[in-house]
Homo-oligomer: A and B are copies of this chain.
């Protein structure tokens, strides 16, 4: 009666914007909850998430670089597999108090990207990433679709807007523009469809008539929007 069409949830990090939505899925609906052990540990450390019944919502550990076959709610195979891979990232903001160096990048697992495939086509989903490494570019090479971290256009965007004291780098997000940014870093990588996701509300890319939007689109990037559908 209270079900949603959601058959599973895959968490790519432990930050509030990734995990708090789980609290809205507490009406005793069965689904799969997939995450790396680092993120499960963040859930385990917060008893409020016990409101999502472990009995109905098994907490399944993903191991980096090991594919998991996705199933439909009735247990039938979905014909898709998902593989988590580590990307440079940060501790969740709320967990910084226990860290001696909260600005340091943390081991693989705290932040992951996902590769979703039916064995033929391949979509990569990387909503948070602190740096684009050669290994990441290599993994992305030849993907039919890349959905990538578009949090900020420039690193000091929030400071300039008076929205806080934190740079993108400090928050664990590479910027879209700039010499080590998303556009530059993937310019020579073969990718089918390039989509920016996870945009912060300070990002001028959100404005359809901004210079930044024109630049990104000229470079072959699409800005994600609610209700977007992608066919590969």
A16 at the interface (CB under 8 A from B): yes
Minimum CB–CB distance from A24 to chain B (whole Å) comes to 8
A50 at the interface (CB under 8 A from B): yes
A163 at the interface (CB under 8 A from B): yes
A1 at the interface (CB under 8 A from B): yes
Q: Which residues of B contact A42 (CB under 8 A)?
A: 48
Binding-face segment, A59-67, A89-97, A169-177:
A89-97
Minimum CB–CB distance from A28 to chain B (whole Å) comes to 6
Instruction: Report yes or no: A94 in contact with B48, Cβ–Cβ below 8 A.
Output: yes
Give a binary string over A19-56; 1 marks a CB under 8 Å from any B CB, 0 the rest: 11001001110000000000000100111111100000
Instruction: Report yes or no: B28 in contact with A23, Cβ–Cβ below 8 A.
Output: no
A162 at the interface (CB under 8 A from B): yes
Instruction: Report yes or no: A19 in contact with B1, Cβ–Cβ below 8 A.
Output: no
Instruction: Report yes or no: A162 in contact with B48, Cβ–Cβ below 8 A.
Output: no
In chain B, what residue has the closest Cβ to A2?
Answer: B163
Measured in the bound complex, the distance between the Cα atoms of B94 and A19 in whole Å is 16
